[in-house]
A and B are shown apart, each in its own frame.
Chain A
Amino acid sequence: MKGVWLVAKREILTRGLSRSYIVGVVVSAVLVAGLTLLPGLLGGPSEYRVVLTGTESAELATAIEAAAEGFEEFSVETAEVADPEAARAEVEAGDADAAIIDNTTLVTESGADQQLAVVIDGAHQAVTTQRQLAEAGFDPADVNAALTVAPLQDDQLGGDDAGARQGIAYFLVIVLFFMVMMPTMYVAMGVVEEKSSRIVEILLSSLKPWQLLVGKVAGLGVLGFVNLAVPLAVGLAMGDVTGAVAELPSGLTGTILSSLVWWVLGFCFYAAMAGALASMISRQEDMNSAIGPLTMLMILSYVVAAVYAWQPTTLVARVLSYVPPFSMFMMPVRDAVNDAPLWQQGLSALLMALAAVGMFALGATIYRRSVMRTGSKVKLTEVLRKSS
């Protein structure tokens, strides 16, 4: 254990104290913090302002406010202004989202948001119909009664906020992918560096091969974890202050936090694999071909997850959420739409953890057998065949 700790400590000190690493962590933290400041990160603004002028402004204003009451997600504030110029000026300045002139013209910056357009259209139709019917001689009270229609009940099959949840799931997949990929590459490069500089020969005279592999993965893992967790913590804290976190659909904060666990499992799996594959070559130039299988597996599971992030409740998604290493992406995706109870997540995490341990055992064997072989690339079949 002491050996593992020494190796890990060296990785943490030499890379973690380097300027590029520190700058990287700070920049991502700032970026994530900035993201929480963006208004309407999850769909448009929650408050609209509509200004009206000219004929039927009062009726329209009442109708708009009444229609908007049917929606929970947003509210609409109305105001009357003196003339069309003032109305246009407000839209231009961004003070108002839309202006309605004489109940005939709609002025916006670049089209109204869909939900606002629905409200305005409805109000416009109602007010106009009412006037025309009144002109045709119907009793305004009857007209009003006839025009009062209960809105359609909103029943989203994907549950409330399905779109936002899937969007966040997709975002998580991307973040997990890059955050696992990067430190995995560092593991591979570090192994080849030690092998190509021949320093591994001295290291192995006082360390067992598995200690070297585990120590390297642990050290770079700590750095990778910090690089993920710090921006996340900053983002959540900032989001808490700005109210962005409160706007997240319920349970998603938990999903974001549990993706840290998935990161750890996924990183262990891929890092052990990277160490093993990289130990079979002696030069950085051979790196791409050596870790080809890893890159392919990782991209495949990423693409699959990116696709099923939008169909998280399909059978394929459910099955893959148990299959390592696909589960590291698929389970967070299912969790994001509340499709996976805790026990399923635990089971899947256990399977992934077992896969990671298995990969470590296999990786350490490959590493032990090939790390002292220099020259041309060691063949995988050869390494696996050779007894003990």
Chain B
Amino acid sequence: MLEVRNLRKTFGDNVALDDVSLTVEPGRMFGFVGANGAGKTTTMRIAMGVLESDAGDVRWDGASLTKSRRADFGYMPEERGLYPKMKIAPQVAYFGELHGLTPAAAKRAAGEWLDRLGLGDRGDDFVQDLSLGNQQRVQLAVSLVHDPKMLILDEPFSGLDPLAVDTMAGVLADRSAAGVPVIFSSHQLDLVERLCDTVGIISKGKMVAAGTVTELRRSAGRRLRVNVADATPGWEQTLPGPATSCGDGEWLVDSADDQGVLAAAMAAGRVVRFGYDEPSLADIFREASA
């Protein structure tokens, strides 16, 4: 279990992180979302020990993290980095050795992961000769080669084609099912919604929401969506709560009095649509980041 506790980080006068806490549990996939510059990368870098925090700490299985314990982590940085003039298979194996594998085990694991990621026949190619998406697969292999006990991936899906997204998602789900805590950041909210058990939303350096997708939906508050055909303009004034227009005569109403809303709508005209609106993650995100 990875616990990030009360992180604070400033760059000059810019407060990048302000009291950020989150927990990634074993066997759970944690989706980390937030607007550009919200602080996702900074949080992950501190968790990986690449950056030092001003305050707060990161704990792993209840004890503070050291370099040698972090060697069990797999990391994919936001700005991908590989040696452009080094062959793929030796490169992946090199990172395996850096994480403590024996040379033979590293070589074997590198071969297996490259096979699995569809690069089995390209082990002797130089990284610089690969397409961007394929370099990304190599990057994933680098983060997985030592069979990590924790995965921290910064935007692993960006730049991937739909097939590669499926491969990547499959690998992550598989690791997660094997009991490895996984945290990844992404701007593809549909993907996060589909893959993640837990979602954390960060905005301007503060965690604004965290929990399972269902919990987030519940706490975001359910709203009623209502559409009345041929209603006279201004009829929404009669509703028992504040209403926001979604265009085309649709309104979102914030009110616990569903029967009251329905009555007001029926009085206004022919009700063609009425029901609770399930907010998508994108809606929750927009609201939380506003």
Write the B68-101 contact mask toward A (1 if CB under 8 angstroms, else 0).
Answer: 0011010101011111111000100011011100
Q: Given the interface contacts A206-B70, A206-B98, A207-B98, does A199 sit within 8 Å of B49 by beta carbon?
A: no
Bound: A204/B73 CA distance, A: 12
Q: Is B142 an interface residue (CB 8 A)?
A: yes
Chain B proximity of A171: nearest CB distance (Å): 35
Q: Are B50 and A198 in contact (CB under 8 A)?
A: no
Q: Given the interface contacts A14-B86, A372-B51, does A205 sit within 8 Å of B97 by beta carbon?
A: no
B98: contacting residue among A6, A193, A201, CB under 8 A:
A6
B48: contacting residue among A197, A200, A205, CB under 8 A:
A205
Q: Are B67 and A203 in contact (CB under 8 A)?
A: no
A206: contacting residue among B80, B82, B84, B99, CB under 8 A:
B99
Q: Are B83 and A199 in contact (CB under 8 A)?
A: yes
Chain A hits for B122, CB < 8 A = none
Chain A hits for B85, CB < 8 A = 14
Q: Are A197 and B98 in contact (CB under 8 A)?
A: no
Q: Is B45 an interface residue (CB 8 A)?
A: yes
Count of A-B residue pairs with CB < 8 Å: 56
Q: Given the interface contacts A6-B94, A6-B97, A372-B51, does A201 sit within 8 Å of B70 by beta carbon?
A: no
Bound: A14/B94 CA distance, A: 11
Q: Are A199 and B81 in contact (CB under 8 A)?
A: yes
Q: Given the interface contacts A206-B70, A372-B50, does A198 sit within 8 Å of B98 by beta carbon?
A: no
Chain B hits for A208, CB < 8 A = 67
Chain B hits for A205, CB < 8 A = 48-50, 70, 73, 75
Q: Are B77 and A202 in contact (CB under 8 A)?
A: yes
Interface residues of A in 175-231 (CB under 8 A from B): 193-194, 197-208
Bound: A372/B45 CA distance, A: 10
Q: Are A202 and B97 in contact (CB under 8 A)?
A: no
Interface residues of A in 1-47 (CB under 8 A from B): 3, 6, 10, 13-14
Chain A proximity of B66: nearest CB distance (Å): 11
Chain B proximity of A331: nearest CB distance (Å): 38
Q: Are A203 and B98 in contact (CB under 8 A)?
A: yes
Bound: A203/B75 CA distance, A: 10
Chain A hits for B50, CB < 8 A = 201, 204-205, 372
Chain B proximity of A210: nearest CB distance (Å): 12
Q: Are B71 and A206 in contact (CB under 8 A)?
A: yes
Bound: A3/B95 CA distance, A: 11
Q: Are A200 and B71 in contact (CB under 8 A)?
A: no
- Say whether chain A's binding surface is mostly helix, strand, loop, or mixed: helix
Chain A hits for B97, CB < 8 A = 6
Bound: A14/B97 CA distance, A: 16
Chain B proximity of A21: nearest CB distance (Å): 13
Residue of A nearest to B127 (CB): A197
Residue of A nearest to B79 (CB): A198
Bound: A208/B94 CA distance, A: 16
Q: Which of A197, A198, A202, A372 counts the most B-chain CB atoms under 10 A from its CB? A: A202
Bound: A13/B83 CA distance, A: 14
Interface residues of B in 189-244 (CB under 8 A from A): none
Q: Given the interface contacts A6-B97, A205-B50, does A200 sit within 8 Å of B81 by beta carbon?
A: yes
Write the A114-134 contact mask toward B (1 if CB under 8 angstroms, else 0).
Answer: 000000000000000000000
Chain A hits for B90, CB < 8 A = 13
Bound: A208/B85 CA distance, A: 23
Q: Given the interface contacts A6-B98, A372-B51, does A201 sit within 8 Å of B73 by beta carbon?
A: no
Chain A proximity of B145: nearest CB distance (Å): 11
Chain B hits for A207, CB < 8 A = 98
Q: Are A201 and B77 in contact (CB under 8 A)?
A: yes
Q: Are B67 and A202 in contact (CB under 8 A)?
A: no
Q: Which of B71, B86, B90, B98 counts the most A-chain CB atoms under 10 A from its CB? A: B98
Chain A hits for B83, CB < 8 A = 14, 193, 197, 199
Chain B proximity of A354: nearest CB distance (Å): 28
Chain A proximity of B99: nearest CB distance (Å): 5
Chain A hits for B98, CB < 8 A = 3, 6, 203, 206-207
Bound: A85/B82 CA distance, A: 76
Q: Are B45 and A201 in contact (CB under 8 A)?
A: yes
Chain A hits for B81, CB < 8 A = 194, 197-202
Chain B hits for A3, CB < 8 A = 98
Question: Could you name 12 residue pairs across A and B whose Cβ atoms are closer than 8 Å?
Answer: A6-B94, A6-B97, A199-B82, A199-B83, A201-B45, A201-B77, A201-B79, A205-B49, A205-B73, A205-B75, A206-B98, A372-B50
Given contact pairs A200-B81, A205-B75, a sample of 14 additional A-B residue pairs in the complex whose CB atoms are under 8 Å apart: A6-B98, A194-B81, A197-B82, A198-B80, A199-B81, A199-B82, A201-B45, A202-B143, A205-B49, A205-B50, A205-B73, A206-B67, A372-B45, A372-B51
Chain A residues with CB under 8 Å of chain B are: 3, 6, 10, 13-14, 193-194, 197-208, 372
Chain B residues with CB under 8 Å of chain A are: 45, 48-51, 67, 70-71, 73, 75, 77, 79-86, 90, 94-95, 97-99, 142-143
Would you list the 10 A-B pairs with minimal beta carbon distance, nearest first?
Answer: A199-B81, A198-B81, A198-B79, A201-B77, A205-B48, A206-B98, A205-B75, A197-B81, A204-B50, A206-B71
